Structure 1
Amino acid sequence: MLARNVSLFSYDDHLQALISTYKYRGDVALAHVFTDTLKRTYRKNFKGAIPVPIPLSEERLLERGFNQAAVLAEQLPVAYNACLVRTVNEDKQSKQSRRGRLRGYVRPFSFQGDAACVADKHMLLIDDIYTTGSTLRKAAVPLLEQGAKQVSALTVARG
């Protein structure tokens, strides 16, 4: 389902602190730390792909005040398509074990918008952390159902 993922960095203690400050303390300006590397990686690996940020639940959006994946997608040299919505509010991934993330299939995302914007196109999911890939694989499903030619992912960290 997910053709591939490219992560900018390995998830280490330093990056964990940086991403936590970005996500949970609302320091949106930290997204700009990744701008040059995001752009370079996009151009090298995904040129022409349409970015799609992983959506947050309404609860998380109200909690944080911003969608960290959308802010990252804004750093790319092309416009993103917010064509996914989160329809099921799962427990926070950061609070689940690896087994819990992989266990059971919940369909937390649905497609919204014009299918012509996705059909026969390479769609690029954008998120901050790739741990098991569960979230990204689940997000790929509605895009593929709408006729996406391919779905890949670009994440800041893999850990």
Structure 2
Amino acid sequence: MDCFRWEEDPKWKGILRYNTSLFEYNDFLKKYLARYKYRGDHVLAKAFVLEIENRLKEIKYDHLTTIPLSQERHYERGFNQSTALLETAGIVSSELLSRIHSEKQSKKSRRQRLQQKQVFTLSETNLKGHSILLFDDIYTTGTTLRQAAKLFKEAGAEQVSSITLARG
């Protein structure tokens, strides 16, 4: 239903071709990812390698890029959890985006997330005709992915799709 609601809004219609989530963000996965993401237990990423590898083999794209953390958040956490998931699977992503520091997404309500202003800037501005695949850990409202996708479309990307580890 969430995807249909986004497509009904003329501002966002056609921005993100699709999102695929590998797992449901249930209580178990919430605890598991919190341990990985906030306590730096990197070995936990290995549990997702096979699923990530298999899914990426099925998708055609020109650029695979992760949703970045702001410099402040990266310093605080010590790593980008999405990039680390890919690296654990031996997959290299392109750094096409940077993020402006803002309040943690996990601290925002659904409404606040949906009303969030653009938090990304592009490092590559000529993506005419390219296919972009965004990778992130958790899909909650879709705002973050759509904000990134909007920039890519404005830079000429033909299509932008996303894959997330989990869907909340």
The alignment's TM-score, normalised by the length of structure 1, stands at 0.90
Percent identity, aligned pairs only, is: 44
CA distance in 2, matches of 1:97, 1:120: 35
Number of equivalenced pairs: 154
Residue in structure 2 matched with residue 100 of structure 1 by the alignment: 112
CA distance in 2, matches of 1:30, 1:149: 35
CA distance in 2, matches of 1:40, 1:73: 12
In the alignment, structure 1 segments of 5+ residues that lack a partner are none
Residue in structure 2 matched with residue 51 of structure 1 by the alignment: 64
CA distance in 1, matches of 2:159, 2:117: 22
Residue in structure 1 matched with residue 128 of structure 2 by the alignment: 119
Residue in structure 2 matched with residue 62 of structure 1 by the alignment: 75
Residue in structure 2 matched with residue 138 of structure 1 by the alignment: 147
Choose which of 6, 23, 32 in structure 2 pairs with 1:9: 23
CA distance change for structure 1 residues 139 and 114 in 2, over 3 Å: closer, same or farther?
A: closer
Deviations for 1:25-79, whole angstroms, at most 9, x for unmatched residues?
01122222111001111122x1344211001001110011101111123255653
Residue in structure 2 matched with residue 91 of structure 1 by the alignment: 103
TM-fit CA distance, 1:143: 1.2
In the alignment, structure 2 segments of 5+ residues that lack a partner are 1-14
CA distance in 2, matches of 1:125, 1:75: 17
The alignment's TM-score, normalised by the length of structure 2, stands at 0.85
CA distance in 2, matches of 1:76, 1:112: 25
CA distance change for structure 1 residues 150 and 78 in 2, over 3 Å: closer, same or farther?
A: farther
Q: Over aligned residue pairs, what C-alpha RMSD do you find?
A: 1.6
Secondary structure in 1 matching 2:148? helix
